[in-house]
Structure 1
Amino acid sequence: MDDVAALFGAASARHAGRGDPRLRATALAAACRDVLAADGATISVTSDGRWRLPIGASDAAAAAAERWQFTVGQGPGFRAWAEGGVVVAGEASLRRAWPVLHDQLHRRTPFRSTVSLPLRPGPGPVGVFDLHFHRAEPVAPATASFDPVRAQLVASLIDTDLFGPGAPGPAPAGRGPGAPAWLDAPTARHRQRVWMVISMSRQVLGLTDADALALLRARAYSRDRTLEELADDVVEGRTPVRALHHSAED
């Protein structure tokens, strides 16, 4: 499998562009897409099952797929993190296990199937990377097919690159001293607005973080919007925080 490491290294270097360290995970996500015969890829970190921070996406469609999975609050990426193993979800599996996510992916993205793998530099997963495919089944003998062995090797290469010896661990709730630059990626900064609204909901509505996140998801689902879109409305003053609670009671 030395060829996989070489191909992945060359692909990530090719996508590195100007070498902005904030976009390191974006380059890695694009390399994942290229080397693993996927149509899109995203990399996220988390401190527990609820707090996903997207740090890299191969393209806009893949970033949208991650946002909808986070908005729904369940899906292959959540399961891969919880179970610590590879989750292969063809279109039929997505429809059966996560019908709301399947509907959003079908309406909002070109993707029809997903494979998720945990990232685990320590004793437990600290994130996931999701691979998205236009075809209904990731493993399709007549095409350039997804190879789980290659994917797990790529996962280890991501681990080494982002969380190698001496590298600081992820801090999804916000950056701190010595935090890696990729925590300040554009996708991550946008997700931070959700944490801002959760904090506002805690202060104004007296909710716990978990209850505030559940409330935001209910509001976003009822409006057919992502959590980031809803957070933008609140932060920019278009939707008062108190209105979130009132809408949930209607």
Structure 2
Amino acid sequence: MPHRLCRALCDSLNVAGASMSLLTHTEARQVLCASGADALRVEELQFESGQGPCMQASEYGSPVVCLDPGEYLSQWPVFGSRLREELPHVALLLALPLTPANTRQPIGAIDLVRHTPWCHGEDPLPAASAAARAVAGILLRRSLQHVGGAQPLPWEPAEMIDAHWGRAQRAAGRLAARRDIDITDALALLRARAFATGRPLPQVCTDLLDELEG
């Protein structure tokens, strides 16, 4: 279902990629899907840096539109520098809170990625915001019993959800126990290792788990 929703967002909103996550601005963040490599890397960079448009949209409940790549650097220096380095062809990001109808608290966020700017005078926000509200309602109905739980959501592809949530949680837990620190500090260390090596956080977590469990 998450992949069908991402494909529908791409087709209806004329974007190159879409991704969605739950509890986006928290340490319990779960990536549900990404429609392509660019959308997935944008998600990863935001989780690795702890900053970015979808984090802001999820925390404050308002859309975030980045029409100029320079905005990435000024608002989110760490995320922005890596985005420009790894994905220089991304011309526009639009992050939308996943806020179900009749509620004020987002349950997550959607990221939309474009390789070309929108045309002059084009306003994507009304349609995109309406789509995000519809998606939020669907996700809430299908995931309410699992949100914030100890297990990843039971959706396909399970491997991707585990890589971008389960492994990070397990790796942070093992590292915290080994160094006698809390989970937040352990996750910060894993994020720092990902940025220092230029490798995605899921790979760093997989390597650590292999090392500790090998």
Task: Confirm or deny a common fold (TM above 0.5).
Answer: yes
Q: Deviations over 1:69-122 (max 9, x none)?
A: 111110001110111100111212112112322232233234232111111234
Root-mean-square deviation (CA), in Å? 2.4
Q: Separation in 2 of the partners of 1:47 and 1:38?
A: 21
TM-score where L is the length of structure 2: 0.87
Aligned in 2, Cα 1:71/1:47: closer, same or farther, shift over 3 Å?
Answer: closer
1:229 to 2:174 alignment: no
Mapped partners of 1:153, 1:70: distance in 2: 25
Q: What stretches of structure 1 of length at least 5 have no aligned partner?
A: 1-23, 242-250
- Contact map agreement 1:105 1:112 (CA 8 A) in 2: no
Inter-CA distance 169–140: structure 2 relative to 1 (3 Å threshold): farther
Change in CA separation of 1:185 and 1:146 when aligned onto 2, cut-off 3 Å? farther
Q: d(CA) in 2 for partners of 1:64 and 1:47? A: 15
- Corresponding position: 1:140 with 2:119: yes
5+ residue gaps in structure 2?
none
Identity over the aligned pairs, expressed in percent? 27
Query: Cα–Cα, structure 1 residues 133 and 163, in superposed 2: closer, same or farther, change >3 Å?
Result: same
| 187, 200, 205: which one aligns with 2:160 | 187
Cα distance change on mapping 1:86 and 1:166 into 2, 3 Å: closer
> Paired residues, what number?
208
Q: Quote the offset at 1:154 in angstroms.
A: 0.3
Report the CA distance between 1:127 and its aligned residue. 0.5
Q: 1:92 aligned to 2:70?
A: yes
Residue in 2 that maps onto 1:124: 105
- CA displacement 1:215-236 (0-9 Å, x = unmatched): 1111211111221111011112
Aligned counterpart for 1:80 among listed residues 54, 57, 63: 57
Tell me how far apart the structure 1 counterparts of residues 142 and 201 of structure 2 sit (CA, whole Å). 34
The 5-angstrom pairing of residues 1-250 of structure 1 reads: 24-46=1-23, 49-90=26-67, 91-109=69-87, 110-121=89-100, 122-135=103-116, 137=117, 139-141=118-120, 145=122, 147-164=124-141, 167-171=144-148, 173-175=150-152, 181-182=154-155, 185-191=158-164, 192-237=166-211
SS at match of 2:145: coil
Query: Is the radius of gyration larger for structure 1 or structure 2?
Result: 1
Deviations for 1:184-221, whole angstroms, at most 9, x for unmatched residues? 63321112111111110121111111111111111211
